[in-house]
Amino acid sequence: MTGTEVSGGQALVAALVAHGVDTVFGIPGTHNLEIYRHLALAGVRHVSPRHEQGAGYAADGYARTSGRPGVAVVTSGPALLNAAAAVGQAWSDSVPVLVVSPGLPLRHPGLGNGLLHETRDQGAAMAAVAAASIRATSVAEIPVAVTQAFAVMTAGRPRPVHLEVPLDVLLETGPAVATRPAAAAPAVPAGPDLAAAAARLAGAARPVLVVGGGARGAAGQVRRVAERLGAPTVTTTNGKGVLPEDHPLSLGAGLQLPAVRDLVADADAVLAVGTELAPSDLWYGPLPLEDRLVRVDVDPVGCVVNAVPTVALVGDAAATLDALLAALPEGGSPDPSAAGRAAGWRARKDADARAEGAEWLPLLAQLADALPRDAVVGADNAMVCYYGALANLATHRPGSFLFPTGFGTLGYGLPAAVGAKVADPGAPVVALLGDGGVMFTLPELAMAADLRLPLPVVVVDNAGYGEIRNEMRDRDDPVHAVDLPSPDLAAVGRALGCHGVTLDGPDGLADAVRRALAANRPTVVHVRHSPPTGEGAAR
């Protein structure tokens, strides 16, 4: 793209392509047709979700799996607001998602005259859930705005961005000069801070490593640091799989478990990498980290959120851990006692995880039997996922457990799984959902069917909002508005172009998932789940 006259839509698509975008998730509408014209002419792959929230979640799953920004293209007003929940989820989980939309014309005569999709201030609405809402007001500004959006998404802590181009700017022509993607060098902490961290960690007899989603791009460095220190390693929800869960030093995920709290209390040094140490991971209060925390975070504000470190290392996770490894004493052969210490804590943690997820263990055993080692799980905000799979279903690669942490949306798992499969077609991907959450984005079965994805969609049906039902009981409240009869989800799947299977309990799930992974289209596996009764049934 040079300074020749082009339409705003052409300038926008050319700038996206220049920044490496080859796939978008979106829905065409009257106001974004100029964008769609040039997406087609440029050969950009288009995936068709059935709702804008699905577009946002699919872009999120694509980003978490590929490590590149996911892009959703929607139209203005209600369409953009439909995507807002997905943008809020991406912000909460530090995922680079770009949502592109038209906006009201610059020469709009004024609010309240009934223009199609008129919204008082859609940019302000999106700024409330995104890192930024950027508005280009001329054709010449569009390439600059795209570069700014990618810089916000990818420099430092990843966050989602909304990019708005007014409808009349999309249609008008003008000169547009291509801008190159802005590349920022990975930040590395100052030498004295690295020396202090290395001294603290090297002198520890009982070190522990806590790994979050901010370390997804530093898996090799995490492994080397864990091995150099001989540190048992536990992950947050979004850090699950950064250290393969069959590594001798891995405890897997589950910061909320009592054994993990005891492990941290016993430690004389804790290295936390790329994690907020957030209540949405800890559940029952802060970890005991006083006077023992070395913290790595790319965000200087995030580096002191929830727990103030003894030593703060502000920098990119991979670059900082490389520098820390250079500052640590060289390790010799692996210390058998370190693996033994980790195994002891792993046994305690696994016992806690089994107790917490007991209701779901038969189903998870079937799922584990069917899934290859490199599987990716698109998990919804469902009991089977956070009480069950989080700490009881092992994963072994970064970005292998896609979960809506923090913001806690329902309906995330299915479209996120589709986005993951689009990003990595060779990876085995499964969606693991509850019957309540699946209804939020059920139409995205059609998106998966369009793509003929070999995607098992496992829906665990406990006949309503099980978590809220339990909370009502715990509060001695009247239990109401939570018991929801489910449709025949296998039949719904078939109606939308998928295969469909119904199981009365977990038996047969492994075979159903294996067949689904080899099928020529998605398979809905509707598992009717009967919760246990009596003492201990709440979880």
Q: What percent of the chain has pLDDT over 90?
A: 91
User: Cα–Cα distance between 500 and 281 in angstroms, integer?
Assistant: 34
pLDDT at 112: 76
Q: Note the pLDDT tens digit of each residue in 8-26.
A: 999 999 999 999 999 999 9
Give the pLDDT band of residue 114 (cuts 50, 70, 90): confident
For residue 519, count other CB atoms closer than 10 A to its CB.
16
DSSP 63-93: HHHHSS-EEEE--STHHHHHTHHHHHHHHHT
Q: Note the pLDDT tens digit of each residue in 174-200.
A: 999 988 887 778 889 999 999 999 999
pLDDT at 180: 82
pLDDT at 538: 38
Of residues 403, 445, 387, the one with CA closest to residue 64: 403
pLDDT at 539: 36
User: Is pLDDT at 313 greater than 80 in this prediction?
Assistant: yes
User: Is pLDDT at 332 greater than 60 in this prediction?
Assistant: no
Give the pLDDT band of residue 45 (cuts 50, 70, 90): very high
**Spatial contact of 66 and 77, defined as CB atoms under 8 Å apart:** no
User: Cα–Cα distance between 382 and 361 in angstroms, integer?
Assistant: 15
Give the pLDDT band of residue 418 (cuts 50, 70, 90): very high
Region of poorest pLDDT, from 107-121, 291-305, 467-481: 107-121
Of residues 359, 386, 206, 215, the one with CA closest to residue 297: 215
Rounded mean pLDDT, 518-527: 98
pLDDT at 59: 99
Mean pLDDT computed over every residue of the chain: 95
User: Is pLDDT at 534 greater than 60 in this prediction?
Assistant: no
Q: Note the pLDDT tens digit of each residue in 251-309.
A: 999 999 999 999 999 999 999 999 999 999 999 999 999 999 999 999 999 999 999 99
**Spatial contact of 520 and 451, defined as CB atoms under 8 Å apart:** no
Structure tokens at 527: 């598992």
* Residue 25, CA atoms < 13 Å, CB-side half-sphere: 37
pLDDT at 54: 99
| Cβ partners under 8 Å of residue 495, min gap 6 | none
User: Is pLDDT at 152 greater than 50 in this prediction?
Assistant: yes
DSSP 452-506: T---EEEEEE-SB-HHHHHHHHHTT----S-B-PPP-HHHHHHHTT-EEEEESSS
**Spatial contact of 394 and 375, defined as CB atoms under 8 Å apart:** no
pLDDT at 109: 66
Domains of the chain: 5-175 (3.40.50.970), 191-351 (3.40.50.1220), 358-528 (3.40.50.970)
